[in-house]
Amino acid sequence: MLDRTGISEHGMAGRGMAGRGMDGRGMDGHAMDGQIVVAGVDKVFTSTDREVVALKGIDLTIPRGQFVCLLGPSGCGKSTLLNAMAGFQLPTQGRISVSGREVKMPGPERGMVFQEYALFPWMTVGDNVAFGLELKRLPRRDIETRVDALLKTLGLSDFKGRYPKDLSGGMRQRVAIARVLAIDSPILLMDEPFGALDALTRRTLQDELIRIWAEFQKTIVFVTHSIEEAIYLADRIVVMTFRPGTIKRDITVDLSRPRDTSAPEFNALKRELTTLVMEEQARFSAAELASAAID
């Protein structure tokens, strides 16, 4: 426990984000820290021959510290919404603000975890985790301390000098999580982070994520198409519609953690969500068939 406190207090406090009051701590007086506000967001992709409305009229306020899952079939715009929050793609209409400031470009106050891990293969595990801290020009010693503490938290201490190619998928995703935790962003954006992992590794990492979320007090927006994963993890599940992406249902999950996937309440929620998601999945399949017929 001591070293964990070390992580949250050491190095970053009073610097960088913290200096701008966005470190996600100091609950009182900073109600907007770590808060995400999506207001009237549309996103239209235009190619030469057609327009695709990926998002339409999205309004969503995510308070600080909430764990939100965006759930829906392929093509419902959940990743588009996440990318807009990250600042990779700006909305066509409307605005997204994080901690009270409009999102205009990617930035370290919104750490992203990708399904493909996106670790830099030419850097060792330690260097990958240190990368964001080096960009902040922290003293070498602070970086070392912080990286070591994070690697320990995620069970990666023995892999510090290894390259990503030597690691399993689950280990790689741990590194990716350590890498965003290192920059101490109040918000974690996760794009199907466990989608490529086997079921057991996935459950382990889900449990670790819950632990990290509780310990580091992050706001998490987590994209998934797995209903069970959403119920297992989230405080709140936002079900999205297939093209154009709108919010179909906004559900609060009131189950206590750790959650029992075989509990009756869990299954009741699962049944409800399955109905909702499958309606959209049917529209997705129909659209796929239609476009195949045109081609």
Partner 1 sequence: MASTAKSDVKVGAGQVGAVQVGAGQVGAGQVGAGQVMTASTVAITPTSAATAAPTRDHGQRRDARPAVPSVLASGGALYGAIVPVLLIVLWEVVARLGIFSPIVLPPPSSVMDRWIISAMPSPVASIATDGTIGWLLSGELLHDSAASLSRVVVGFVVGAGLALPLGLVMGASENIYRLMNPLIQVLRPIPPIAYIPLSIVWFGLGNPPAIFLIALGAFFPVLMNTIAGVRQVDGIYIRAARNLGAGQWALFTRVILPAATPYILAGIRIGIGTAFIVVIVAEMIAVNNGLGYRILEAREYMWSDKIIAGMITIGLLGLMIDIGVSRLNDWLLRWHRGLDQ
Segment contacting partner 1 by CB under 8 A, of 46-54, 117-125, 202-210, 255-263: 117-125
Task: Map the footprint of partner 1 across residues 156-175, applying CB under 8 A.
Answer: 161-166
Q: Which of 45, 61, 100, 120: binder of partner 1 (CB under 8 A)?
A: 120
Provide the mask over 11-50, with x wherever binding to partner 1 is found by CB under 8 A and - wherever it is not: ----------------------------------------
Which one, 93 or 124, has the nearer CB to partner 1? Answer: 124
Is 118 near partner 1 (CB under 8 A)? yes
Q: How far apart are CA 202 and CA 272, in angstroms?
A: 23
Which one, 151 or 269, has the nearer CB to partner 1? Answer: 151
Neighbours of 10 (CB within 10 A): 13
Q: Which amino acid is at 230?
A: A
Which one, 87 or 91, has the nearer CB to partner 1? Answer: 87
CA-to-CA separations, 75 to 52, 163, 245, in angstroms, rounded: 10, 34, 8
DSSP E strands, 150-246: 187-191, 219-224, 236-240
Per residue, the 3-state secondary structure of 12-26, as one string, reads: CCCCHHHHCCCCCCC
Segment contacting partner 1 by CB under 8 A, of 1-9, 107-115, 247-255, 282-290: 107-115
Is 195 near partner 1 (CB under 8 A)? no
Q: How far apart are CA 137 and CA 105, in angstroms?
A: 21
DSSP, res 187:
E
101 sits in which H/E element: strand 101-102
Is 107 near partner 1 (CB under 8 A)? yes
Tokens representing residue 210 in the block:
């819950």
The 3-state DSSP class for residue 244 equals: coil
Which one, 163 or 266, has the nearer CB to partner 1? Answer: 163
Which one, 131 or 266, has the nearer CB to partner 1? Answer: 131
Task: Map the footprint of partner 1 across residues 131-150, applying CB under 8 A.
Answer: 131-132, 135-136
The 3-state DSSP class for residue 53 equals: strand
- Cα atoms in the 13 Å half-sphere on the side-chain side of 89: 19
Q: Which of 100, 106, 139, 258: binder of partner 1 (CB under 8 A)?
A: 106
Q: Which residues of this protein are in contact with partner 1, per CB under 8 A?
A: 86, 88, 105-108, 110-112, 114, 116, 118-124, 131-132, 135-136, 161-166, 179-180, 183
